Amino acid sequence: MTTLMTPATVSTVPGLTAPAPTPLSETKTLTMGKAINEGLRQAMLDDPKVVLLGEDIGALGGVFRVTSDLLAQFGARRVIDTPLAESAIIGTAVGLAYRGYRPVCEIQFDGFIFPGFDQIVSQVAKFHYRTQGAVRMPITIRVPFGGGIGAAEHHSESPEAYFTHTSGLRVIAVSNPQDAYSLIRQAIASDDPVLYFEPKRRYHVKGEVVPELGAAMEKAVVVRPGTDVTLLTYGALVSTARDAALAAFDEGISIEVIDLRSLSPVDYAAVEASVRKTGRLVVTHEAAQSGGLGGELIATITERCFSYLESAPVRVTGFDVPYPPAKLENHHLPDLDRILDGVDRVMGRR
């Protein structure tokens, strides 16, 4: 065909081969990163339609090694090292979902999600509504998020509120290895699209993991019971909040720490029950304050529990600044002392 302008041939990506590791079958101590890896492995064994897409997720196993060894076990047809284009990672996942696949996309870092934002907000989130339920989008979008690792710009952001504001998406943030394992499996099994946020500074924290699905991903969990203050958080700050509760206990303040786990929908029943008991609410997150999840949580709880509140709820959040340089991030990120300061304020001690 003389009119066909032909390009040069392209090479194909070779698959690696290695013996398949056995899936997690008994309780084991794992890092959070490894727990997600095991959850992905189990999801891929459970359903041949689960495919992974992302940058460097193959031979390298991802920049955080969360997809380690999955290429070797499942091959290049299911573990797809993509060209560097986030919109296309999400957009081709939409097409795969159209054909009955259950894609799991890895966005390498929080700040890299924005080139894919349009496909997430305009396509992934809306397809089920648009088609009146005819086309499902069981897509999981994994996003390492948050700061505290001394990284360069665009590597420490907390973009979750953009997605909790978007109808059609479910949003999860995990805080420990067990939830990381259980909730990635639940997210992948969900027929709705799920943004799955992984607190990158906790990837190496170890914990016991039981190979079970556990409580439904929409459920919040009381990680430490208390009676004076409800402290709501998610992701990396859950362990900071627990530390704050321990410290406050020594000063005679009993804090109930709730790990939200699901940011959309929020398990308001659990939060309301706690606030009705304590009468005081502090919300902490790394994301900036204005338009952040804290405002929505406090507004809703104020609407529903106004007569139970002893004092005005308090937010302890990142500032309304672009994520600052690494040498300044400790001023930006809520830490134990700033959370305790917030607790003092809600207790009327300051």
**Could you tell me which of 18, 14, 91 has the C-alpha nearest to residue 53?**
91
* Tokens read off for 217: 């991903």
- Residue 306 engages other proteins in binding (rule: CB under 8 A): no
Known catalytic residue at 332: no
Interface pick for other proteins out of 35, 51, 113, 271 (rule CB under 8 A) = 51
Interface pick for other proteins out of 16, 20, 85, 328 (rule CB under 8 A) = 85
> In angstroms, rounded to a whole number, what is the distance separating the alpha carbons of residues 179 and 39?
10
CA distances from 66 to 71, 223, 299, 324 (A): 12, 25, 36, 26
- Residue 134 engages other proteins in binding (rule: CB under 8 A): yes
- Residue 101 engages other proteins in binding (rule: CB under 8 A): yes
User: Nearest distance from residue 270's CB to other proteins, in Å?
Assistant: 11
Site for other proteins in 179-238 (CB under 8 A): 190-192, 218
If the CB atoms of residues 243 and 296 are measured against other proteins, the closer one turns out to be: 296
Q: Are 197 and 179 in contact (CB under 8 A)?
A: no
Interface pick for other proteins out of 16, 17, 29, 129 (rule CB under 8 A) = 129
* Tokens read off for 286: 């790394």
Which residue's structure tokens are 């998020």? 145
| Torsional class of 62: left (φ above 0), alpha (ψ -120 to 50), beta (otherwise) | left
Whether the upstream peptide bond of residue 324 has omega within 30° of 0, thus cis, is no
- Residue 165 engages other proteins in binding (rule: CB under 8 A): no
If the CB atoms of residues 77 and 327 are measured against other proteins, the closer one turns out to be: 77
Task: Find the part of the chain contacting other proteins (CB under 8 A) among 66-74, 89-97, 174-182, 231-239.
Answer: 89-97
The residues, ordered by sequence, that sit 6+ positions from 22 with a Cβ below 8 Å of its Cβ are none
Interface pick for other proteins out of 14, 19, 100, 252 (rule CB under 8 A) = 100
DSSP 229-281: EEEEE-TTHHHHHHHHHHHHHHTT--EEEEE--EEES--HHHHHHHHHHH--E
- Residue 20 engages other proteins in binding (rule: CB under 8 A): no
If the CB atoms of residues 18 and 134 are measured against other proteins, the closer one turns out to be: 134
- Residue 140 engages other proteins in binding (rule: CB under 8 A): no
Task: Find the part of the chain contacting other proteins (CB under 8 A) among 35-43, 63-71, 118-126, 235-243.
Answer: 118-126
- Number of shown-chain residues binding other proteins (CB under 8 A): 61
> In angstroms, rounded to a whole number, what is the distance separating the alpha carbons of residues 105 and 98?
15
> In angstroms, rounded to a whole number, what is the distance separating the alpha carbons of residues 340 and 336?
6
SS3 199: strand
Task: Find the part of the chain contacting other proteins (CB under 8 A) among 207-215, 258-266, 306-314, 336-344.
Answer: 258-266
- Residue 97 engages other proteins in binding (rule: CB under 8 A): yes
- Phi and psi at residue 245, to the nearest 5°: -65, -40
Catalytic residue among 128, 154, 155, 332: 155
Residues designated catalytic: 155
Binding site for other proteins (CB under 8 A): 1-8, 10, 12, 51, 77-78, 80, 82-83, 85, 87-88, 90-101, 103, 115, 118-119, 122-123, 126, 128-136, 138, 167-168, 170, 190-192, 218, 264-269
